[in-house]
Structure 1
């Protein structure tokens, strides 16, 4: 069996490793534009902030390691055409310019995503950079060494992590975002307010509800222009989101309007013997029951693993995702899973929520911290569809627990009575998850009674 893999970050690496384990006799050829594999881009901010000293440590697989296992690695090769009917692809060596034709029995598309790059005037100025791969990480470090004023455009996870990293390196940092809040896709206002306040306390300038309209400078960026003001900048990092890197496969496989490849529960595309995994494709999203574009490393690894499991026959279906994620900014430990109330409304799902904010351990414990926890559930079914947590200590595993609850269709009643251990070092006799779910049950009981009386 000849297996061709296009792209080798998280999904590609997982697909290769698992294909090797399941089908050691397979002939695997990998086509990758870069000269490295398996780069953990989520570690770029840690590298910028000096927590990770060497960018080389942000890899968990190597070209040599794959080649030692008999895999043919076509590094710095760009696949320029794919014929899914003839089962052939054409690749160009980016160094020599030579074109070669390769055949396959099974094709795995793991081309990932690429940063959104709107046509902003001045984007071609020096020191306006992207943040995605190993080369970007090295460039950000190199260019930031001799500058003082840094602007980050985009208030998602990567953007806010970079803001923290630059601030802790002593830079004057400005964060610009078109939305009214940072992290608004993942968290509600009560969870983002503390983070925004911490940024302001550290001297970070937050320009929210502002659109970047241009960059100005003499060869090198000197100023960022928004619809409301101008900001001095010697380095600009663009982090406004990602798009699926799938142009090569248009009209060959089914896609969402966003360009995300549509796969079935076995990771099969609409083309025979063609599979897709990772940031290039959509994933089943359990809170809505629909396919969604959720570019996360965890999703990519699971999808790559499933491709290998289903490469010869459909054996293991995708269990779906909740889009679970975590973040640490200064002293804030934050986690989220599933839908926020805003996202639920966008998806036409009627929801209600309950929240708690209290100490996570008994009051007699000499050291204690507040936990703020929110649970979102569907009206009528009482099915849990989302949760958010923030605390000054790491209690983020709570959203992993809720992720399991969402995946299994649990209701607020079931979570309210789930068996969690009690030990004063860790929690109260009524676990905070039990408590927030019990509060939701009580809320529904009161509302039902009021409706009945009316």
Structure 2
């Protein structure tokens, strides 16, 4: 009997979990994981620990090594970017970014775990040197180099959500840190006043300057960033870290898979898309949130892994024996001693 071809797009938490679960659960399967980047597979949620020197190195902040998958019978192709889904042919068109060559890869079952991209501010000067994003392997290296660069003294972090991690890292590295956000308080989109007040006090106590109710309008500098222009005046800086959220990495499936107005993948109660034999998991979907009793975005490694386990268990059922029950979505957040 010919092996069932399972293709997984994305090698991070969800893709990793699905690949190993499927290979462990089924015998007659051919599992291929496609990873757009060169490195397999960096955990952005571990970036803060790496930047604080609490890991054994950047190359170890990962879910697995390619050889871990090949040892159990799977295949992984890095530098392989999915660019189009062809439901009529049951293929994924990919571009091998190291050679520029295109290829169509056939699937019997497809699991989309392509995740999200860091949101980038479409503002004047965004391409200046020392304007960095806080997500992914390549950005982690640049941020780590920057925190050890003695010529960088003033650091501005844009985004008082996940950006508080960058603010803490650079304050501990001896930099003068300004945390900028258009909201009234740090983390106000996530927490109520009882908690935001705690974080606000902790940041101020540790010498992080807060620039709240501040809208960034652009960046200026001679080759590299020197000034952030805002609605409240200019802020001098040697480095900018942008952490203003995420956008779903779904442009490549537009027109083939149903997306909502923000580009997130629509799935049913079984994590299936509108396309036969195509499932979606991870940060680019809205899973069912048990406490909220509705579907909401939950960008979380644990969430992606639970979704991957469910899909793996029911992958070959005509109709899954049970729906995906959902997740709680609890996360841990810390800053300095809070």
Kept after mapping to 2: 8 A contact 1:36/1:63: no
Does 2:198 match 1:185?
no
Partners of 1:130 and 1:73 in 2: how far apart? 26
Kept after mapping to 2: 8 A contact 1:49/1:166: no
SS of 1:230 mapped into structure 2: strand
Does 2:337 match 1:331?
yes
Partners of 1:50 and 1:243 in 2: how far apart? 29
Q: Deviations over 1:238-286 (max 9, x none)?
A: 1000111111111212222111111122211110000000012111123
Of 89, 114, 119, the residue aligned with 1:116 is: 119
Match of 2:293 in 1: 289
Q: Deviations over 1:122-168 (max 9, x none)?
A: 10001101111111111111133221111110011x21111111111
Kept after mapping to 2: 8 A contact 1:267/1:310: no
- TM-score scaled by structure 2? 0.94
Kindly report which structure 2 residues correspond to 1:301-380, keeping only aligned pairs within 5 A, or say none.
301-313=305-317, 314-332=320-338
Structure showing greater relative contact order (alpha-carbon pairs closer than 8 Å, 6 or more residues apart): 2
SS of 1:121 mapped into structure 2: coil
Kindly report which structure 2 residues correspond to 1:170-181, keeping only aligned pairs within 5 A, or say none.
170-181=174-185
Partners of 1:152 and 1:127 in 2: how far apart? 12
Aligned-pair distance for 1:12?
Answer: 0.5
Match of 1:150 in 2: 155
Aligned-pair distance for 1:287?
Answer: 3.4
Partners of 1:127 and 1:165 in 2: how far apart? 16
Kept after mapping to 1: 8 A contact 2:116/2:249: yes
Match of 1:232 in 2: 236
Aligned-pair distance for 1:316?
Answer: 4.4
Match of 1:36 in 2: 39
Deviates more, 1:307-316 or 1:270-279: 307-316
Of 44, 61, 66, the residue aligned with 1:63 is: 66
Question: Runs of at least 4 residues of structure 1 off by over 6 A?
Answer: none
Rg (Cα) greater in structure: 1
Partners of 2:7 and 2:112 in 1: how far apart? 9
Partners of 2:146 and 2:297 in 1: how far apart? 32
Kept after mapping to 1: 8 A contact 2:23/2:73: no
> Which structure 2 segments of 5+ residues have no match?
none
Partners of 1:60 and 1:104 in 2: how far apart? 24
Aligned-pair distance for 1:51?
Answer: 2.6
Deviates more, 1:17-26 or 1:312-321: 312-321
Partners of 2:44 and 2:173 in 1: how far apart? 19
Does 2:107 match 1:104?
yes
Q: Deviations over 1:401-421 (max 9, x none)?
A: xxxxxxxxxxxxxxxxxxxxx
Kept after mapping to 2: 8 A contact 1:221/1:234: yes
Kept after mapping to 2: 8 A contact 1:36/1:62: no
Partners of 1:105 and 1:53 in 2: how far apart? 39
Does 2:256 match 1:258?
no
SS of 2:333 mapped into structure 1: strand
Partners of 1:231 and 1:119 in 2: how far apart? 18
Aligned-pair distance for 1:53?
Answer: 4.7
Cα RMSD for the two superposed structures:
1.4
Of 132, 139, 155, the residue aligned with 2:142 is: 139
Kept after mapping to 2: 8 A contact 1:82/1:88: yes
Deviates more, 1:45-54 or 1:127-136: 45-54
> Which structure 1 segments of 5+ residues have no match?
333-454
Please identify which structure carries the higher helix content: 1
SS of 1:82 mapped into structure 2: strand
Aligned-pair distance for 1:203?
Answer: 1.4
